[in-house]
Structure 1
Amino acid sequence: MVSDPSGVQSVSFELWHGPNRAEADGRMAQVGFDRCVKITENTSKCQAVVDADPYDNLRSNALAGTWGVSAVAVDGAGNVTREDDAPWPARIKRQTHLSQADATPEPVKKGENLTVKTDRNGWATTTVKATADGEYRFDFAGTSLTQARAGRTDFVDVK
């Protein structure tokens, strides 16, 4: 929420990661807000969405976690107000990948063990009892630092 007796002309912000803004090891800036709604003549509520590109501004999973926010507002008279350590931190999560599951053996007899794995190294491997024809996949619920993700499915024929 931004408020000034002369109204609000524009708002922008910068996200930064590190011990403080001066020593930031990651930055993302947004000039202007996607959605500013005038609440009263002097107050606007602004929201924005920042696309974080892991190949550009999030070069490392070490940048996941809490980011600081610096905001700049320009009032109707052209005065600039800067808040370098805004009290609303942003949470950035690590990117998550799940490849297609590959269940073996196929076909499998009812009641026998079915092993679902994602790659030749055995990452994300589990064993389940085969009970009926169906599709198997991994669902990762996510964590406070990692995105939730659902993998692609593999159909299994149970005899």
Structure 2
Amino acid sequence: MRIRATVAAVGGALALSALVVPAAQADASAATADDYRAAVAKVRQAAAAGDARTARVDQPYPLNATFSNFKIGKAIKVGISGTYSTTVSYTLTHDADVDVTAPDFLTGPYLYRGDATLFGIEPATCTGTTATTATCTGKIDVLPAEGDLLNSDAGTWKGAALAIDYNGQDPEGFDFDITQVGYADQGGLGTTLVQRRSQLTVNATPEPVKKGATITVTGKLTRADWENTKYVGIPSGQTVKLQFRKASSSTYTDVKSITTTSGGALKTYVKAGVDGYYRFSYAGITSTVASVAAGDYVDVQ
């Protein structure tokens, strides 16, 4: 579920007006995975509709809660199907009268880049460490086949976290009072990369080959196309190393560097010396994950 809004919601009460609407969110223990992400989507839809801080009379009150010690992995390496997750931990500091273990208290980490956001499928879980602090752990989950990402989203994302305290309010109840609901949202907590996975192929011919003859090594470098859920050739100009491993060795050594041509195509030539394996190795870039092809064996006669 891709979540975008034309108004940024980081750092204010703007987002909560929609987050508190789904009934299932009144009890975190009963919330399903879809409930949580759907609530997040409604947050952004509400943000896009206008500024709740000035256009609405009824607003949640600012929850006295802050987030720190935000820890996340260096990168989320995303292919074209399935779920790609990274675990996030952070410290939640709050007023003494806030019960972070209550079933109607929700918190979770998320990532943002421009007006795009990535949340977890489920809220984070917290363990109180003192009367006013808790250690929380949650996940960021990316589902490329569900439209979570555009190809242009590859790169650096910023980390954030939010908390919502329903204080016993039932969003489905007739007397639901949003002004009794507390909300906190804080951005700029850290960064991580969201990258497109890549794949490499290699084919060394002829096989077998006479010693001293020319071996042609071809291959292709592709990467995940999140918008069309398939792997496509990477643009020309990407540097890839040709590597060789003797049949009697377990170590690959660099032979030469070449660059991709149209559609990620690779082609180069070497002289046959001894039996061994040829492969291509790609170091990756900010937007694209590194990859290595499986070695292709050549019998030299």
TM-score > 0.5, shorter chain as reference? yes
Q: Percent identity over the alignment?
A: 32
Structure 2 CA distance for aligned equivalents of residues 8 and 50 of structure 1 = 20
SS state of the match for residue 152, structure 2?
helix
Structure 1 residue ranges, 4+ long, deviating more than 6 angstroms after superposition: none
Unpaired runs of 5+ residues, structure 2, are: 1-90, 168-180, 221-262
SS state of the match for residue 209, structure 2?
coil
SS state of the match for residue 137, structure 1?
strand
1:118-138 CA-to-partner distances (Å, cap 9, x unmatched) read 25x781223233322222222
Matched, 1:43 2:133: yes
SS state of the match for residue 62, structure 1?
helix
Paired residues of 1:28 and 1:57 also in contact (CA < 8 A)? no
How many pairs align? 149
Q: In proportion to residue count, which structure has more helix?
A: 2
Q: Please give the residue correspondences for 1:3-14 in structure 2 after superposition, counting only pairs within 5 Å.
A: 3-6=93-96, 8-9=100-101, 10-14=106-110
Aligned residue number for residue 197 of structure 2: 95
Matched, 1:136 2:278: yes
Structure 2 CA distance for aligned equivalents of residues 56 and 88 of structure 1 = 26
Structure 1 CA distance for aligned equivalents of residues 298 and 93 of structure 2 = 59
Aligned residue number for residue 157 of structure 2: 67
SS state of the match for residue 55, structure 1?
helix
Q: In proportion to residue count, which structure has more strand?
A: 2
Paired residues of 1:64 and 1:92 also in contact (CA < 8 A)? yes
Structure 2 CA distance for aligned equivalents of residues 97 and 137 of structure 1 = 12
1:56-88 CA-to-partner distances (Å, cap 9, x unmatched) read 34543211112233421247x7843212x3331
Inter-CA distance 69–97: structure 2 relative to 1 (3 Å threshold): same
Please tell me the residue identity of whatever aligns with 1:103: A
Aligned residue number for residue 150 of structure 1: 292
- In the alignment, which of 112, 116, 123 is matched to residue 32 of structure 1? 123
Which of 1 and 2 has greater Rg?
A: 2
Inter-CA distance 102–28: structure 2 relative to 1 (3 Å threshold): same
The TM-score, its normalising length taken from structure 1, stands at 0.72
Paired residues of 1:27 and 1:57 also in contact (CA < 8 A)? no
Inter-CA distance 158–54: structure 2 relative to 1 (3 Å threshold): farther
Aligned residue number for residue 217 of structure 2: 116
SS state of the match for residue 198, structure 2?
coil
Bigger shift: residues 124-133 or 147-156: 124-133
Structure 2 CA distance for aligned equivalents of residues 51 and 63 of structure 1 = 15
How far off its partner does 1:109 sit?
Answer: 2.0
Structure 2 CA distance for aligned equivalents of residues 74 and 122 of structure 1 = 47
Matched, 1:16 2:158: no
Please tell me the residue identity of whatever aligns with 1:123: A
